[in-house]
Amino acid sequence: MEKSSALLLGRSGSLFQFVTILLLMLCVVDVKSQLSVDFYASTCPKLAQIVRKEVVNAVKAEMRMAASLLRLHFHDCFVNGCDGSLLLDGTDGEKFARPNLNSARGFEVVDSIKRAVESQCSGVVSCADILALAARDSTLLSGGPSWKVPLGRRDGLVANQTGAGDLPGPFDNLTLIITKFAAVGLDSLVDVVSLSGSHTIGQASCATFSNRLTNFSGTGAPDPTLESTMLSDLQSLCPANVNGNPTTALDRGSTDLFDTHYFQNLVNNKGLLSSDQILFTGSEAATAAARSLVQIYSVNPGRFFFDFANSMVRMGNIGPLTGSNGEIRRNCRVINS
C-alpha cells in the first residue's frame, strides 16, 4: 500500500510538473500571440508612415540619431522588458542609471514621434511600440535590414533604475555578456553576436574604452589586442588629462553605415570596446563559436542582416505588457495621471 501510494505520488508529482511547464509555455505563446504586425491596422492605419517620416527628419538632422534611437530600444527591452520604462523622467528613472547617463539620447525625437502619432491616433499607440518602430526605421535608413515589427505592447508604470545599472556593458567579459542576454531570454550566441553588430553605427565616449589605452587589466600596458595605429589615435583623442568626454566612431572607417565593417574591424583587431573585440580575440569557452560567427558576418552581409533582423524581433518580445496590463501613455516621459 505504501509502495503504491509512493508510486502514485511520484506520478502525480511528475504530472504536476508537466502541467506547470505546459501552462508556462502557453503563457509565453499567449503573450507573443497578442503582438502582431497589424495590431494597429484599424485603430492607427498610418502609424508606420508617421513614425518613418519623423525618423527620417531626425536622421537627416543628425546621422548619429539613428544609432541613438536603436540603442533606446535595446536599453528599454533589457530592463523590465519592452515597456517604454526607459523613457520615464524622474531622478529614479532608468535614463539616470550609470549605463544610460550621458549615453542614452534621442528622447526629444521620441517626443516628436509621439506628438505626431497622437495628432492622428490619440491614446492608441504605446511609447514602447514607437521605440520598436523607430529602431527598425533607424536601421533601415542607415543601410541595414528591415523587418516586420510585431506590435501591441503597452507602457509600463514604473522605472527600474537598479535593473538598468546591470545592462550589458563595455567592460564585461563574454561569459557575463552571454549571461545577461540569457537572463532576458536571448539564450543564443547568434543573438549576442548579431545584436552586438548594432555597433556598426554610433559613437562611444573615451570613458567606455580608455581602460584599453594604458593600464589594461592592471598590466601597466595597453590592450595587446588593439591595433597599433588605432591605439595611437585613441591615445591622442583620450589623454589622461582630457577635458570633457570626447567621442569616436564605434565602427572605425564606417561611422554611419549599417554594414559588416564592424565585424571586419574585429577580425583586424580594430574593435573599439573591449566587449566587442572579445567576440573575436577572447580566450573564454564561448569565444571559438563567437569568432566563427564574426568571421561569417564579416564576409556575408546577407547572413548578418538576416540574423540581426530575427534577433531584433526576439528582443522585441522580451516581457511585453499586453491586454489590460500597463497603459498607453499620453506623454512618454510620465505615466498618465
User: Who contacts 135 (Cβ-Cβ below 8 Å, separation ≥6)?
Assistant: 69, 70, 72, 73, 74, 312
The x, y and z cell numbers of residue 37, run together, are: 504586425
Q: What is the pLDDT of residue 262?
A: 98
Q: According to the annotation, is 81 in a ligand binding site?
A: yes
Distance of CA 280 to the CA centre of its chain: 20
Q: What is the pLDDT of residue 245?
A: 86
Q: According to the annotation, is 76 in a ligand binding site?
A: yes
Q: pTM for the complete prediction?
A: 0.89
Average pLDDT over residues 244-269: 96
Q: According to the annotation, is 275 in a ligand binding site?
A: no
Q: According to the annotation, is 168 in a ligand binding site?
A: yes
**Nearest residue to 191 (alpha-carbon basis) of 29, 312, 285:** 312
Q: Give the integer Cα–Cα distance in Å for 324 and 326.
A: 7
Q: According to the annotation, is 85 in a ligand binding site?
A: yes
Q: According to the annotation, is 239 in a ligand binding site?
A: no
Count of beta carbons in the 10 Å neighbourhood of residue 328: 18
Average pLDDT over residues 12-33: 44
Q: According to the annotation, is 144 in a ligand binding site?
A: no
Q: How far from each other are the two terminal CA atoms of the chain, in whole angstroms?
A: 63
What is the number of alpha carbons within 13 Å of residue 154 lying toward its C-beta? 16
Q: Give the integer Cα–Cα distance in Å for 157 and 337.
A: 11
Identify whether the C-beta of residue 98 lies closer than 8 Å to the C-beta of residue 170. no
Count of beta carbons in the 10 Å neighbourhood of residue 143: 16
pLDDT of 210-219, one tens digit each? 999 999 989 9
Q: What DSSP letter does each residue of 233-273 carry, written as one string?
A: HHHHHS-TT-SS--EEESSTT-SS--SSHHHHHHHTT--SS
Is 261 catalytic? The answer is no
pLDDT of 257-284, one tens digit each? 999 999 999 999 999 999 999 999 988 9
- Evaluate if residue 105 carries a pLDDT over 90: yes
Query: What percentage of the chain reaches a pLDDT higher than 70?
Result: 90
Per-residue pLDDT band at 98 (split at 50, 70, 90) = very high
Identify whether the C-beta of residue 70 lies closer than 8 Å to the C-beta of residue 138. yes
Q: Give the integer Cα–Cα distance in Å for 274 and 289.
A: 18
Per-residue pLDDT band at 102 (split at 50, 70, 90) = confident
Q: What DSSP letter does each residue of 165-232 carry, written as one string?
A: TTS--TT--HHHHHHHHHHTT---HHHHHHHHGGGGS-EEEGGGTGGGTSSGGGSSS--TTS-HHHHH
Maximum C-alpha span of the chain: 82
Q: According to the annotation, is 276 in a ligand binding site?
A: no
- Evaluate if residue 30 carries a pLDDT over 60: no
Lowest-pLDDT choice from 11-15, 129-133, 167-171, 216-220: 11-15
Q: Give the integer Cα–Cα distance in Å for 153 and 325.
A: 9
Annotated catalytic residue: which of 64, 71, 73, 75? 75
